[in-house]
Structure 1
Amino acid sequence: MLVSAKEMMTKAKAGKYAVAQININNLEWTKAVLETAQELNSPVILGVSESAGDYMGGYRAIVGMTEGLMEDLNITVPVALHLDHGTYEGSKKCIRAGFSSIMFDGSHYPIEENFAKTKELVATCDTLGISLEAEVGAIGGVEDGVIAAGECADPDECKSIADLGVTMLAAGIGNIHGKYPANWAGLSFDTLAAISEKVGEMPLVLHGGSGIPEDQIRKAISLGVSKINVNTECMLAFQTTVRIYFEEKKDLIGRGYDPRDIIGFGIEGVKATVREKMELFGSVGKA
């Protein structure tokens, strides 16, 4: 069954490793992530953006699909189903649909409004046993049409949101969604250290985990990051693997035109990427 991310976050913070949030896009993607997590005995968080929710037919469909896969595949590692960058209304819809974890992204609101909406959602999630992630300081790049430059969060604002009782906190430290440009300045570890000092035992979340150099990932984990989001690298791995399928004309051999063969071949690239990230983040064997 799906679980809140609270326990896995507490353990990750104490153990100085990070749990991967892998965004899912369809049934095959979800199956691949679940199987890899089980193989590596790693906890995992399945991320669902609102646009991915629409693409997959709605939040209830995603809950049913995930729970069905977990039962049929005999998945025993902790799995949280998490709304990624949710709006206020989207958060409520996912709570009603049966998600076990929610990210409310109020970073684009004035801090007072972000504070008020987050406080209300904390009360609801606490009552239902759902974990809640909040954000301070917009993460750079494009996420569901919202464009932001990788700004750094104010440590005092981070503490104000953390003190509301959220489960985990996403704070902008120069990270961005999507591909990192050649002139990217890197993560601001001074900002991360200041935020970590302010919020104490609060697990921190690093968005835009695709493409950040491994040494920066390890340093971020050492400074309190307990959850790292990965999406773009999985998409690129799928794209690259599917291209190889067609370049090698596998679609012309036998029933190579079968979409199960095409997608299944591409999914092997996703699995390899998920495995690589779980090993880097240190979550292998931590279920």
Structure 2
Amino acid sequence: MKTTATWLKGFLATATVLAFCSGALAETKNLTAKVTRIQGAARYTTDGTTWKALRVGQSLPAGTVIQTAANSMVDLVLGPEDTIRLAPQVTENFTVLPPAEVIFQPITGPDTVRLYSDTTLAIDRLTSTATGIDEVRETMLDLRAGAIFGKVKRMSAASRYEVKIPNGVAGIRGTVYHINAQGVVSVLVGTVVLSVVGQDGRVITQVISAGYQYDVRTGQLTPLPDTLTQEMAAAMQTVGTGEMAPPTIYTQDQTTIYVSPTTGTRPPSSGGSGGGE
């Protein structure tokens, strides 16, 4: 009996030491979103007040809010600084794979996000924790207006990748997706789980699998239209690969209103200038 008690005490002590060491080895790093492509005009703020022109090559930390103007686009690569590289300039002359081939194509490379016109996106959280066994990533994006496209490689079971929209949140795992702020979620590869608050206050959960899109406004789950499938396949090949065109230069202003998420226009200027020519 005494021998058993002694063994148990030693086992518990060893387990405590191992748990402590495991916790000590788990190091959480703050990652950044690097701007790899700008077409048109875009700006960002890290304090919610002061806006600055966005430039290719910038690394944006969590807490940054990005806005794109009309007819504009921004590509971001999410990851550690030492794994992000700006690729040579690309053109639009690429070959789009047939949908059946794209769906089964493995997702490689870093996670990427593309912001389309009149989009407001906040980077709420972007971290990586090395546990000694695997890498636990936490990516939290807040889509306040407009639409984004994303490509996410397969993650560890403990990792989280979420995109908030005004009335819900989408959980994403190893996925090629397109989401707009009105609640239309389209999936080319993988699966997205969308949870939204309905008009009656109830939480609605919908699983969207590859090849389908869900519209929260109608409650309809439908196959991806061919045009959207081709558009997402093309974006999958080019997002985050390099700068497409130099950014449009515009006069910076300190106003909080930049573009309209519904009309894509800016209000009449009352003094300063806020957009590109």
TM-score normalised by L of structure 2: 0.23
Normalized per residue, which structure has more helix?
Answer: 1
Normalized per residue, which structure has more strand?
Answer: 2
TM-score normalised by L of structure 1: 0.23
- In our comparison, the structure showing a higher alpha carbon Rg is 2
